[in-house]
Amino acid sequence: MSKTLAIELRPTSRRKPFNVVRWYQSGGFTAVLFAVPIVLIFLYFTWGPIVQGVVLSVQRTNLVSAASWVGLKNFEFVLTDPGLPQAALNTGYYALLGLVFGFPVPILIAVFINELRKYDWMYNLLAYLPAVVPPVAGILLWKFFYDPSGEGIFNTMLGWFGVGPLPWLNSEAMAMPSLVLYTTWAGAGATAIIYLAAIGGISSELYEAAEIDGAGIWSRLWHITIPQLRNIIFIMMLLQLIGTFQLFTEPFLFTGGGPNNATQTIMLKIYNYAFINGDYGAATALSVLLAIFLCLLSVVYHFVTKRWSPS
Amino acid sequence: MSAIGTQVTVSLVEPAVLDAVPRAKKKLVVAKERGAISSADRKRPIVKASMWIIQILMFIGLLVAGFGPIAWSARAAVSGSQQIITDPTGIWFSPVFWVNLVHAWNGAQIGSSLGNTVIVAVGCTISTLFISTTGAYLLSVLRPKWSPVLSGAVLATLFLPGVISLVPLYLTILHMPVIGVSLQNTFWAVWLPAGASAFNVIVLKRFFDSIPRELIEAAKIDGAGPLRVLTTLVIPLSRPIIGVVALLTIVASWKDFLWPMLVLTDPNLQPVSVTLGGFANGTSQPFSVQMAAVFLTIIIPVILFAIFQKQFLRGVSSAGGIKG
């Protein structure tokens, strides 16, 4: 009320005095009505929780007694947790393995399917099938496939070639690569479709020009297809990195973080802090740290890849 | 979850949003002309032979990787527990255990969980579409004076990874501020947060921005109110992009595990991903029934995919067009 009065008292200002009737007639009220759902939902489920996340990270709360301010104690607790270095290393190791072994697979599939002149839809379909399988069902299946005994499916198949039996999820060294193998299987087809659309957009004149210049098939793939895909490759790489740093479902269901913490990830730690120990302060403190890390990663990545792009 | 990444992507390729679907179609036609291998190359015997070998190897590889697990789960679903464990790779088997499927459907509650999954997916889609179309319409067409503020606030959340709000979001569901109710063990706990997707709002806003203003002005002169412009003009024109948003939401909610597990603790409300996840951590159900449950969970999306594969793959690749 006082605000409206103040404006009305200053007729010299260039702004027209606020008029409820005119505001209503020009659609101001309708706009507010349209804003209600999005503002309410974002307040409750996005903006509110983000602010609350930062606040909780400097508080001690257990939902029963009132929250008390503890400053940076939660961060101190999280950073001195003896399990943290291992979890951070595991998460980084998983991201690295995924990047080195998992990342090229969909690109290869897409390049191959693009060269087919017949039956390409069938390859497409087969490659995409794993992405249709709900992750939890896929994990239950693969958990059985990873049976470490000689009768396990993968070990039997390896046995045909005289390899194995491998311990898979039961050994510290092989547990993480096994998770990467599963996530590659589950994700490659869906990513390949995106690459396939991008490859289809490459101008055929480029290939023709290269062919006239005497470039072979491999050098055409290496010097035209891959560089033309550069932007999308950078984007998919960042998306994969962000996704892998928030890895949860696979280690949670496959191994529960074991054996001997070999698959303990940052997200599992956050889950354990919050929903096993009920220590919401520590959980949000670690979440804030991970979020800051991912933001920094994205910013650095953005500038580094920008430098590599010619345009 | 991958907030920042999606933001980078959206800003990199705005124009792709405008005609995502038609372009994808055009590309497919163009792609048929040639790839890295020219038709002259294809006549050379070495290329011909190696293409054949690669094709066969890839076919076997993809068949084993893509179809193998599904076929195996089908086989395990109708075998006895003993048979699955002692002879997992046996191709010949007698499907005498049809009763597994019945046990899984009724005893292991897969039937009702699948129903819950459908309820969750439909509700999430409705909530996402409602929030993001009204929001995008407000920011793109109505454009009140304060819309840049709202637009910025929505955009800013894209920059933050989802992990930061997981725990506070859970606490919000347990005790909604101001109204003071708990949404735990109601479907609203899954439906409503799904609507708060900045990515979908931005994608729809970009698409609405591409609708010629003359059309909207003409409709207004003809006496159409804001709601009428939205329902009879903007939404019909944006059908392809709305379809893509709906598809992505359905797929995401079908796959989601952690969030429904946290907020739906009542077994009668849990979607199938959570019910199956419970098996991974020990269950009293016999192994063959577990495998039958896995099979039932896999086969429904696979059948839907087989029926709608064309629309599905086109939708996913145009979503890729938005992303990249």
Among the residue ranges A30-44, A101-115, A171-185, B9-23, the one predicted with the least confidence is: B9-23
- Same domain assignment for residues A42 and A91: no
Phi and psi angles of residue A304, each rounded to the nearest 5 degrees, phi first: -65, -50
Residue of chain A whose Cα is closest to the Cα of B252:
A134
- Residue B169's contacts (CB-CB under 8 Å, 6 or more residues apart) are A45, A49, B193
Residue A284 lies in a domain: yes
Examine residue A61 and state whether it is found in any structural domain, yes or no: no
C-beta atoms of A45 and B59 within 8 A: no
One domain for residues A158 and A28: no
Question: What mean pLDDT comes out for the span A243-265?
Answer: 87
Superfamily of domain B109-273+310-323: MetI-like (1.10.3720.10)
Whether residue A20 lies within 8 A of chain B, CB to CB, comes out as no
List, in sequence order, every residue forming a beta bridge with A68; answer none if it has no partner. A60
Tell me the per-residue pLDDT of B55-75, one tens digit each, with 9 for 90 and over: 899 999 999 888 888 888 888
Contact check, Cβ <8 Å, A129/B318: no
In this model, does residue A4 exceed pLDDT 50? no
Q: Which residues does chain B have within 8 Å of residue A109's beta carbon, measured at their own beta carbons?
A: 62
A93 and B CB contact within 8 Å: no
Q: Is residue A69 part of a domain?
A: no
For residues A34 and A117, state if they share a domain: no
pLDDT (0 to 100) of residue A206: 87
* Shared-domain flag, residues A51 and A84: no
Tell me, yes or no, whether A287 and A153 share the same domain: yes
A84 and A6 in a common domain: no
Structure tokens at A112: 């191959």
Asked if the model's pLDDT at residue B39 lies above 80, the reply is no
Of A125, A153, A211, the CB nearest to B38: A211
Q: Are residues B193 and A220, on separate chains, in Cβ contact within 8 Å?
A: no
Strand residues in chain A grouped as ranges (E): 59-60, 68-69
Whether residue A267 lies inside any domain: the answer is: yes
Residues A172, A32 within the same domain: no
Cβ–Cβ under 8 Å, residues A83 and A261: yes
| Position A217 in a domain | yes
- Domain residue ranges in chain B: 109-273+310-323
Q: Is there a single domain that holds both residue A201 and residue A154?
A: yes
Domain count, chain A: 2
Which pTM value belongs to this model?
0.82
Q: What tens digit of pLDDT does each residue of A117-135 get?
A: 878 888 888 888 888 888 8
- The range of the structural domain enclosing residue A49 comes to 2-56
Q: Could you say which of A142, A190, A287 has the minimum Cβ distance to residue B163?
A: A287
**3-class DSSP state of A76:** helix
Are the C-beta atoms of residues B172 and A74 closer than 8 Å to each other?
A: no
Per-residue pLDDT at A6 = 47
Query: Based on the domain organization, do A85 and A21 belong to the same domain?
Result: no
CA-based torsion, A78, A82, A87, A90: positive or negative = positive
A33 and A164 co-located in one domain: no
How far apart are the CA of B122 and the nearest CA of chain A, in angstroms?
Answer: 17
The phi and psi torsions of A68 (rounded to 5 degrees) equal: -125, 150
State whether A197 and A272 are in the same domain: yes
Q: pLDDT band at B91, cuts 50/70/90?
A: low
pLDDT at residue B4 in the model: 36
Q: Is A66 inside a domain boundary?
A: no
- pLDDT value at A95 more than 90: yes
Question: How many CB atoms lie under 10 A from the CB of residue A304?
Answer: 10
Rounded to an integer, what distance in angstroms lies between the CA atom of residue A261 and that of residue A294?
A: 23
- Do A213 and A185 fall into the same domain? yes
